[in-house]
Amino acid sequence: MAKTTYHDLDDGALVEQLAEAKDELFKLRFQLATGQLTNHARIRQVKRDIARIKTELRAREIAAAEQLTEENA
């Protein structure tokens, strides 16, 4: 994955990106275990991408909850 601004994507695209990143991380770990991995830094990059996506999803979840609270108040 290239450096992406995740806040520009909709929720569905973020969930899809998260699934792709998790799949890529699984494959990279498998390559590492079998000694086929050539770019060890890629594991770190993918982990950070996963964290960024999860952070954006959580921020949206919190914003939605705050909006509901404001509407009910």
pLDDT tens digits along 15-73: 999 999 999 999 999 999 999 999 999 999 999 999 999 999 999 999 999 999 988 87
42, part of any domain: yes
**Which domain, by its residues, includes 20?**
6-72
CA 54/CA 64 separation, integer angstroms: 15
Q: What are the tokens at 73?
A: 């108040």
In a domain, 1, yes or no: no
Q: Is residue 43 within 8 Å of 28, Cβ to Cβ? A: yes
The CA distance from 59 to 7, in Å, is 10
In a domain, 15, yes or no: yes
Q: Give pLDDT, residue 3.
A: 59
What CATH number should be reported for the domain holding residue 17?
1.10.287.310
So what's the pLDDT on residue 45?
97
Q: What is the CA radius of gyration of the chain?
A: 16
- Quick one: DSSP state of residue 3? -
User: Is 10 part of a structural domain of the chain?
Assistant: yes
pTM: 0.88
Task: Work out how many domains the chain is built from and give that number.
Answer: 1
Residue 16 within a domain? yes
